[in-house]
């Protein structure tokens, strides 16, 4: 029996087992959250951002409090736990906490950068926000939406547990209609950023483990029946046919929804089924396609009764043919850079539109037409700005390094995060690649794990490319890319660090490569570190000269790889990492950035910028 046949047999068996176990694990979790509401920017909302009271709780005493009364996991209530926000009835009552007298943390924001005492803290923090609420309509429905909580959230409203969310980079929401009151509401979130081997990401990463409510918290007002989700894209294989889908919440099956694109004078009325679902197509002659050179966005309005849900959507096709990546039917080279979700100048988790604009403007200055968002879904502002600025995007879930591939609960959580990422961002024309993993070692369990995610991605969004950042290996003097996942992916992408983690720079341009797949190749990472302002000979590590020489030699080497169609070097800016401890050089920063954490460009920035100018000068019809 050949290796390929035995691999496929073991992969199919393991995949079937993992799917079955994942479904069994996933079912009880799904009862805790309602379906994700998308397009918050255009819904009727009330912000709950601002100063929240915070209690640091490393021992999880908040479940018991002063009477040591145990938390009742069956009823999910306790009159004396922190989430009850209890206050003493008289002067004699013993109460050992008080949110109202506790310090505050800003939401959105991470606690590490807001308090010196919490800089390295990994544990539990209870956060409370009090608010009043007056509905704008009678008989409506109210949801609380979280952009992200890092890493695990338990959410309580007025003492009632709403549910739990695992995953620090994806949005979630709960319906709270039954528990809201006009005055004195209190929302309590137990935030836990403890690293766990079975989590996604796993316990070992190379970025800062920020904790906190790191993205917006929003109240959403809706009608009894409303538009829960809507997607509209260019139909795969066409350039002037739009394909859409609608999901209503609270539907009776008699509803009719109108979709219009006023600029194109297009309108379509569709009827939903009893499940509130509908799909449709619209012919769009004269459609202007989105591209980096012309990032055209159309106003799209989806109307149900009095609800008119608006969005700005670009339409473009993305596909592969042999070794080519085709944008709107024309070949394109991805001139990219990798980016972490961190404000480099302030050393904190990025969350705002201003943060996103800073990073993407740097990428545009570098000459990029593409960015890789590593290693997790970034905040929604990044994608909406990429739409506007004409930057294509690789978006990724944090299946990173040696994750617990044999654990069904880990697969279920990765699947949930993938589903939320795609559902939130599938109307963004900028997103051309969904990535399911980074630097994961091949093996039967890992292969089955990734195959499940690849299948899920294609089912959920067949109009985009699927990839993963793979690893290479040496066979004598030849660097080989032969990961079996390459058979299942649209683009073969891999990370390599010649001249930093091994290999000579002097003879790098003569290196030999073997890519065992006739598909487009994308080098998802390469690079090396430099302390901005440190100068010396190009043979001296950590100098700007060494980093610039590394880029010069790597670019000369990578240009010769067969089927090379893009690069996203590591990384745009220096970022915090507790793994990087060299005194006087790293000091808690990964220094592979082309821009320092003071915002100063290193020499390698200009080396890559010159290379991209030459690539752009060669031109492509897609741009």
Read off the pLDDT of residues 154-171 as tens digits, 9 standing for 90 and up.
999 999 999 999 999 999
Task: Using alpha carbons, select from 377, 338, 396 the residue that is nearest to residue 572.
Answer: 338
Residues 388, 20: Cα–Cα separation, whole Å: 41
* Res 137: pLDDT: 83
Task: Using alpha carbons, select from 202, 204, 203, 305 the residue that is nearest to residue 252.
Answer: 305
Q: Identify whether 535 is preceded by a cis peptide bond (ω within 30 of 0).
A: no
What secondary structure letter does DSSP report for 115?
A: -
* Res 66: pLDDT: 47
Cα angle value 138/144/150 (rounded, 5°): 175
Q: Where are the alpha helices (DSSP H) in 157-229?
A: none
For a pLDDT cut of 70, what percent of the chain falls above it? 92
Residues 469, 393: Cα–Cα separation, whole Å: 14
The pLDDT of 403-418, averaged and rounded, is: 98
Res. 64: pLDDT tops 90: no
Q: How would residue 622 be classed by pLDDT, with cut points 50, 70 and 90?
A: low
Res. 96: pLDDT tops 70: yes
* Res 140: pLDDT: 92
pLDDT digits (tens, 9 = 90+) for 260-298: 999 999 999 999 999 999 999 999 999 999 999 999 999
* Res 25: pLDDT: 33
- 599 phi-psi bin (left φ>0, alpha ψ -120 to 50, beta other): left
Residues 91, 182: Cα–Cα separation, whole Å: 29
> Which residues make Cβ contacts (< 8 Å) with residue 254, sequence separation at least 6?
none
- 253 phi-psi bin (left φ>0, alpha ψ -120 to 50, beta other): left
* Res 13: pLDDT: 38
Residues 281, 235: Cα–Cα separation, whole Å: 8
Which neighbouring-strand residues pair with 313? 298
Better pLDDT: 71 or 416: 416
User: Cα-flanking dihedrals φ and ψ of residue 481, to 5°?
Assistant: -115, 105
The pLDDT of 414-420, averaged and rounded, is: 98
Q: How would residue 9 be classed by pLDDT, with cut points 50, 70 and 90?
A: very low
Query: What is the model's pTM?
Result: 0.92
* Bridging pattern class, strands 492-495 and 465-470: parallel
Residues 152, 172: Cα–Cα separation, whole Å: 12
* Res 80: pLDDT: 75
> Which residues make Cβ contacts (< 8 Å) with residue 597, sequence separation at least 6?
344, 345, 347, 573, 574, 575, 589
Residues 66, 64: Cα–Cα separation, whole Å: 7
* Bridging pattern class, strands 392-396 and 431-438: parallel
* Res 136: pLDDT: 86
The pLDDT of 187-203, averaged and rounded, is: 97
CB 18 within 8 A of CB 452: yes
Res. 4: pLDDT tops 80: no
Which neighbouring-strand residues pair with 394? 372, 433
pLDDT digits (tens, 9 = 90+) for 363-372: 999 999 999 9
* Res 415: pLDDT: 98
CB 145 within 8 A of CB 47: no
The rounded mean pLDDT for the chain is 92
Give the helix/strand (H/E) hosting 339: strand 338-339
User: Cα-flanking dihedrals φ and ψ of residue 160, to 5°?
Assistant: -100, 130
Reduced to 3 states, what is the DSSP secondary structure of residue 414? helix
The distance of Cα 544 from the centroid of its chain, to the nearest Å, equals: 31
Res. 422: pLDDT tops 60: yes
Give the helix/strand (H/E) hosting 618: helix 603-618
* Res 65: pLDDT: 57
Residues 535, 542: Cα–Cα separation, whole Å: 8
CA dihedral sign of residues 577, 169, 298, 321 = positive
Residues 476, 421: Cα–Cα separation, whole Å: 40
Q: How would residue 12 be classed by pLDDT, with cut points 50, 70 and 90?
A: very low
> Which residues make Cβ contacts (< 8 Å) with residue 140, sequence separation at least 6?
177, 221, 222, 223, 224
> Which residues make Cβ contacts (< 8 Å) with residue 501, sequence separation at least 6?
none
The distance of Cα 37 from the centroid of its chain, to the nearest Å, equals: 16
Q: Identify whether 375 is preceded by a cis peptide bond (ω within 30 of 0).
A: yes
Place of tokens 């879930």: 397
* Res 612: pLDDT: 98
- b vs e for 495-510, b when ≥16 Cβ sit within 10 Å of the residue's Cβ? bbbbbbeebebeebee
Which neighbouring-strand residues pair with 257? 270
- What length is written for the chain? 623
Residues 303, 456: Cα–Cα separation, whole Å: 30
Better pLDDT: 226 or 80: 226
- With 0-12 / 13-18 / 19 or more C-beta atoms within 10 angstroms meaning exposed / middle / buried, residue 58 is exposed
pLDDT digits (tens, 9 = 90+) for 286-295: 999 999 999 9
Count of Cβ atoms closer than 10 Å to residue 186 Cβ:
17
CB 353 within 8 A of CB 381: yes
The pLDDT of 529-537, averaged and rounded, is: 98
Res. 620: pLDDT tops 70: no
Count of Cβ atoms closer than 10 Å to residue 457 Cβ:
22
Reduced to 3 states, what is the DSSP secondary structure of residue 417? helix
Res. 450: pLDDT tops 50: yes
CB 165 within 8 A of CB 229: no
Range in 3-7, 19-23, 426-430 the model is least confident about: 19-23
* Res 623: pLDDT: 61
């Amino acid at each position: 029996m050949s290796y390929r046949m035995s691999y496929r047999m073991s992969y199919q068996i393991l995949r079937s087992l993992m799917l079955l176990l994942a479904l069994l694990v996933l079912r009880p979790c799904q009862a805790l959250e309602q379906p994700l509401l998308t397009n918050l920017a255009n819904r009727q909302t009330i912000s709950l951002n601002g100063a929240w009271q915070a209690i640091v709780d490393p021992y999880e005493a908040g479940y018991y409090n002063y009477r040591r009364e145990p938390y009742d996991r069956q009823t999910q209530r306790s009159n004396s736990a922190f989430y009850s926000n209890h206050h003493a009835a008289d002067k004699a009552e013993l109460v050992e906490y008080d949110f109202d007298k506790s310090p505050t943390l800003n939401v959105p924001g991470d606690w590490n950068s807001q308090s010196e005492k919490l800089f390295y803290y990994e544990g539990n923090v209870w956060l409370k926000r009090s608010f009043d609420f007056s509905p704008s309509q009678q008989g409506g429905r109210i949801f609380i939406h979280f952009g992200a909580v890092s890493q695990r959230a338990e959410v309580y409203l007025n003492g009632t547990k709403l549910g739990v969310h695992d995953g620090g980079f994806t949005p979630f929401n709960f319906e709270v209609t039954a528990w809201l009151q006009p005055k004195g509401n209190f929302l309590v979130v137990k935030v836990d950023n403890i690293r766990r081997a079975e989590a996604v990401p796993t316990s070992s990463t190379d970025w800062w483990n920020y904790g906190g409510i790191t993205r917006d918290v929003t109240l959403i007002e809706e009608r009894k029946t409303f538009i829960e989700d809507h997607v509209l894209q260019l139909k795969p294989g066409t350039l002037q046919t739009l394909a859409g889908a609608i999901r209503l919440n609270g539907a009776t099956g008699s509803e009719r929804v109108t979709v219009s694109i006023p600029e194109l004078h297009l309108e379509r009325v569709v009827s939903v089924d009893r499940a509130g679902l509908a799909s449709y197509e619209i012919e769009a002659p004269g459609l202007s396609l989105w591209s980096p050179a012309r990032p055209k966005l159309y106003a799209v309005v989806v109307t149900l009764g009095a609800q008119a849900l608006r969005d700005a959507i670009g339409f473009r096709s993305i596909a592969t043919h042999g070794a080519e990546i085709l944008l709107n039917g024309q070949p394109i080279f991805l001139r990219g850079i990798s980016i972490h979700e961190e404000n480099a100048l302030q050393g904190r988790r990025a969350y705002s539109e201003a943060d996103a604009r800073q990073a993407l403007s740097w990428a545009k200055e570098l000459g990029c037409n593409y960015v890789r968002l590593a290693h997790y879904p970034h905040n929604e502002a990044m994608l909406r700005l990429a739409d506007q600025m004409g930057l294509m995007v690789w978006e990724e879930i944090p299946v990173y390094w040696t994750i617990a591939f044999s654990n069904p609960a880990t697969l279920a959580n990765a699947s949930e995060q993938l589903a939320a990422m795609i559902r939130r961002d599938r109307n963004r024309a900028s997103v051309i690649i969904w990535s399911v993993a980074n630097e994961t070692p091949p093996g039967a369990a890992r292969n089955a794990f990734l195959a499940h995610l690849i299948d899920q991605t294609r089912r959920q969004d067949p109009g985009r490319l699927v990839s993963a950042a793979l690893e290479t290996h040496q066979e004598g003097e030849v660097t080989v890319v032969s990961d079996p996942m390459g058979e299942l992916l649209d683009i073969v992408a891999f990370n390599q660090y010649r001249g930093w983690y091994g290999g000579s720079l002097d003879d790098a341009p003569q290196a030999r490569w073997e890519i065992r797949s006739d598909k487009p190749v994308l080098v998802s990472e390469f690079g090396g570190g430099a302390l901005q302002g440190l100068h010396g000979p190009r043979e001296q590590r950590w100098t700007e000269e060494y980093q610039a020489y590394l880029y010069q030699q790597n670019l000369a080497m990578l240009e010769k790889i067969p089927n090379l169609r893009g690069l996203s070097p590591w990384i745009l800016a220096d970022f915090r990492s507790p793994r990087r401890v060299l005194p006087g050089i790293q000091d808690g920063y990964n220094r592979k950035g082309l821009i320092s954490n003071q915002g100063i460009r290193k020499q390698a920035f200009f080396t890559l910028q010159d290379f991209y100018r030459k690539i752009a000068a060669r031109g492509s019809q897609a741009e």
